[in-house]
């Protein structure tokens, strides 16, 4: 009877998963297998930057369903291919109303300038630029075009940058919540909102520093591309906001018109019979297939850094993380592949676990020991744990506005016992062992002995971080301690401090990797980013084991549907191909 119940439960689970999961996989496979539309002989690409934007494409193939966004890496790689495609005659860009992350904007601007230098025009159209994000990046991207259009009656409000932080100390004091965090050191301000009622002098200094650097960089690039004086442009923009006609009169834009008019103007410039093609459709139809022979490995990593491997989640929601097992394995695989001569690690991370970061850094060391240079290309963020990973790379390339450094650590807990006691809730704990056991329980604050032990541990972690940076960047430990303290720098500032080797984008990092590996000419880039096939994505999303997958096959047999079997066959083939190839309430420091 027991075995019967187990078997029945397995079949029931398989049937349920088949009914829920198989349609997702079927649609995903159908979309990926469908032949993309042919590219017309005269094509104008249309890129919409108003959609959600990530630095890298999602690793979960099921996230491609109902594609609602794109990635910076896809944009820059596709534009490079489009430069050499005689069918592509120009690019129309829809600008975001509140801008995008500064590092993303820098990378896309470089791609725009390179595309335009190939002789193919870029028209940018804006329906207005407004506060609420980083509006100066939207203006900078428009300035990088050959013709900057704005919709009639729209506003141009790129008057500066603003930032808000929420401070909860007064609320916590009122209700008896005790936040207990250690920071190394005064600039590590991620938890300042819990500990203070206002900006500390160090917090204010660091925030104004990186904001000022981003603002100055945006304006300098916009002025250079508009061929005007940076100080004059700043004065004009800050005197805003403006309506479209005023922006045209002040030569902040080139044309006032609807998006259809901008599109028509570019199509006419492209020649008789020119057609508009969605950028993502063109990217799908002309995706790079890699190549054989000597190559540079591209490994991508985006999100907070955690230990282990991806255990899956909702297969149709976004979000990404850097899993130490998977990323380190990808780096080690590239290090062992004879045809790989160098590695470019595209990194976009605000930080995470120190132990996970160290595991990935160890793989970087192995690659270097195997005489494979590792060049880190930083996106919007290369901070905290992200910088720990990069610290001993062969070279680091960052955008001028990349938020990097933040060499520091924080950790701690909330003591909720006093607050809950006001509502008649009592928390008691029982423990065995030393006095540090139970230190991270939420019932009571640290004892003096526990706080001292925790503080000493944080000091040691911070010292390890500093030591790695000093060794990797060939800097005296004392100098690293001066520029560390949890301070966030932009890429331009980090270059001056010796924390970054070059200011530039992804293709500058590729050129650096080629030079370090002694490669010349056109060297193919082989993507070796950890990825999932549809079957693996479903297994992780629904918590399936290999045995459960066999149950799924049994469910298909029960249905007796040959289409279901074809799905399973396709999934099996996909699996074979894939095989070929912050708030911390625990004692883990967060970087």
Which active-site residues does the annotation give?
188, 384
The C-alpha torsion from 11 through 13 and 14 to 18, rounded to 10°, is 140
Instruction: Show Cβ contacts of residue 162 under 8 Å, excluding neighbours closer than 6 positions.
Output: 131
Q: Quick one: tokens of 579?
A: 């095989």
Q: 82 φ, ψ to 5°?
A: -65, -30
Q: 109 φ, ψ to 5°?
A: -60, -45
- From residue 404, alpha-carbon distances to 225, 230, 237 in Å are 26, 25, 28
3-state DSSP assignment of residue 233: helix
Of 264, 286, 285, the residue nearest 275 (C-alpha): 264
Eight-class DSSP state of 196:
-
Say if CB 335 and CB 370 are below 8 A apart: yes
What is the Cα–Cα distance from 538 to 90, expressed in whole angstroms? 40
Quick one: residue 16, left, alpha or beta (phi over 0 = left, psi -120 to 50 = alpha)?
alpha
What is the Cα–Cα distance from 365 to 342, expressed in whole angstroms? 13
Say if CB 94 and CB 129 are below 8 A apart: no
H/E stretch holding 322? strand 322-323
Q: Quick one: tokens of 155?
A: 């506003």
DSSP letters for 506-555: HHHHHHHHHHHHT--S---EEE------HHHHHHHHTT--HHHHHHHHHH
3-state DSSP assignment of residue 220: helix
Residues facing 446 on adjacent strands: none
SS (H, E, C) 369-436: HCCCCEEEEEEEEEECHHHHHHCCCCEEEECCCCEEECCCEEEEEEECHHHHHCCCCCCCCCCCCCCC
Quick one: residue 81, left, alpha or beta (phi over 0 = left, psi -120 to 50 = alpha)?
alpha
H/E stretch holding 141? helix 135-143
Q: Quick one: tokens of 547?
A: 């045995």
């Amino acid at each position: 009877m027991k075995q019967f119940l187990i078997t029945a439960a397995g079949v029931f689970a398989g049937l349920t998963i088949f009914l829920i999961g198989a349609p997702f996989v079927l649609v995903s496979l159908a979309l990926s297998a469908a032949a993309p539309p042919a590219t017309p002989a005269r094509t104008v690409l249309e890129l919409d930057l108003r959609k959600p934007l990530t630095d890298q494409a999602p690793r979960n193939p099921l996230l491609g369903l109902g594609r609602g966004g794109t990635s910076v890496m896809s944009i820059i790689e596709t534009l490079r291919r489009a430069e050499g495609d005689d069918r592509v005659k120009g690019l129309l860009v829809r600008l975001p109303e509140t801008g995008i992350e500064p590092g993303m904007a820098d990378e896309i601007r470089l791609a725009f300038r390179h595309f335009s230098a190939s002789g193919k025009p870029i028209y940018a159209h804006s329906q207005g630029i407004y506060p609420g994000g980083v509006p100066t990046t939207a203006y900078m991207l428009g300035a990088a075009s050959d013709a900057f259009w704005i919709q009639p009656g729209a506003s141009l409000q790129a008057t500066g940058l603003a930032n808000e932080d929420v401070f909860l100390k007064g609320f916590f004091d009122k209700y008896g919540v005790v936040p207990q965090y250690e920071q190394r050191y005064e600039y590590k301000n991620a938890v300042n909102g819990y500990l203070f009622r206002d900006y500390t002098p160090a917090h204010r200094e660091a925030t104004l520093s990186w904001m000022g650097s981003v603002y100055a960089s945006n304006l300098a690039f916009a002025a250079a591309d508009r061929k005007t004086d940076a100080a004059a442009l700043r004065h004009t923009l800050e005197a805003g906001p403006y309506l479209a006609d005023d922006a045209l009169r002040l030569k902040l834009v080139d044309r006032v018109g609807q998006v259809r008019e901008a599109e028509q103007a570019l199509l006419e410039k492209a020649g008789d019979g020119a057609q508009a093609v969605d950028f993502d459709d063109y990217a799908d139809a002309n995706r790079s297939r890699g190549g054989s022979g000597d190559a540079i490995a591209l490994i991508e990593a985006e999100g907070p850094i955690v230990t282990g491997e991806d255990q899956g989640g909702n297969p149709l929601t976004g979000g990404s993380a850097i899993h130490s097992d998977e990323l380190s394995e990808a780096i080690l695989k590239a290090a062992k592949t004879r045809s790989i001569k160098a590695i470019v690690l595209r990194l976009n991370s605000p930080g995470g676990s120190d132990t996970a970061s160290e595991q990935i850094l160890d793989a970087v060391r192995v690659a270097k020991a195997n005489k494979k240079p590792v060049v880190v290309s930083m996106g919007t963020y290369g901070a905290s744990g992200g910088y720990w990973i990069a610290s001993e790379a062969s070279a680091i390339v960052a955008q001028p506005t990349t938020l990097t450094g933040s060499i520091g650590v924080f950790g701690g807990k909330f003591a909720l016992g006093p607050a809950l006691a006001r509502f008649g809730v009592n928390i008691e704990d029982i423990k065995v062992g030393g006095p540090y056991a139970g230190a991270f329980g939420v019932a009571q604050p640290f004892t003096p002995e526990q706080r001292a032990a925790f503080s000493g541990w944080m000091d040691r972690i911070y010292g390890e971080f500093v030591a790695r940076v000093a060794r990797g960047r060939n800097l005296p430990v004392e100098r690293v301690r001066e520029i560390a303290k949890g301070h966030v720098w932009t890429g331009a500032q980090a270059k001056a401090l010796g924390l970054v080797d070059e200011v530039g984008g992804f293709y500058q990092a590729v050129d650096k990797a080629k030079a370090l590996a002694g490669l010349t000419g056109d060297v193919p880039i082989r993507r070796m980013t950890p990825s999932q096939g549809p079957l693996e994505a479903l297994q992780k999303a629904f918590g399936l084991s290999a045995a459960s997958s066999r149950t799924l096959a049994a469910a298909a047999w029960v249905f007796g549907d040959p289409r279901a079997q074809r799905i399973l066959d396709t999934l099996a083939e996909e699996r074979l191909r894939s095989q070929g190839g912050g708030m911390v309430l625990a004692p883990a420091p967060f970087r």
